[in-house]
Amino acid sequence: MLAAGLKFIHIAAIAIWAGGLICLPFIYRQRSEVGVEHDLHRLHAMTRFFYIAILSPAAFIAIGSGTALIFAQQTFVSWFTLKLVFVGFLVLIHLLTGIVILKLFEEAGHYPTWRYVMVTAITTAVATAIILIVSSKPEIDMRDFQTEFFAPGRLGEMLEPVFAPLIRLVRP
């Protein structure tokens, strides 16, 4: 009974969170159409309220209830790891959205159409991927990835091109 209640809360919170993240770029597009200072202030206040009072609590509840479900149902399977990767992308989109709100309503702020289309498409794709992974629960053999990706010293090899220029700057 507890797991069913947690699932209901989790699904409802994810629906609000992902749906809100998909809708926010549309609200951002309204920024370029608002000309009067009073209307701009109202749009900014509404956008901040939507982000702070609705989306952020929904994200917190989705992640909290999902974490509780992990322990309630002992979900330690490979498809779940893939789902968590996409949830991480959703968290990143959420954080970047908050930064956009801060920058967008400055005096010279605007939100171009290409960004509106791109962000909406990416957010929709991430939310869809989560739904598809949870619905299909694909069998993923982690041993296929372990041989190459988790080999000793592999992290250093992968990050060497990134950190090599910084190391050269520090060393005389």
Ranking 3-17, 117-131, 139-153, 157-171 by mean pLDDT, the lowest is 139-153
Q: Percent of the chain, pLDDT > 90?
A: 43
Number of domains in the chain: 1
CA distance 19 to 24: 9
pLDDT tens across 26-54, in order?
988 888 777 667 788 888 899 999 999 99
Single pTM value for the model: 0.77
Ranking 8-12, 14-18, 47-51, 151-155 by mean pLDDT, the lowest is 151-155
Pick from 146, 162, 163: which is nearest to 154 by CA? 146
Residue 15 belongs to a domain: yes
Q: Which pLDDT score, from 0 to 100, does residue 107 have? A: 75
Residue 130 belongs to a domain: yes
Residue 165 belongs to a domain: no
Could you list the residue range(s) of the whole structural domain that residue 129 is in? 2-140
Pick from 2, 18, 56: which is nearest to 134 by CA? 18
Residue 82 belongs to a domain: yes
Place of tokens 């080999």: 151
Pick from 9, 2, 14, 6: which is nearest to 123 by CA? 14
DSSP class of residue 51 equals I
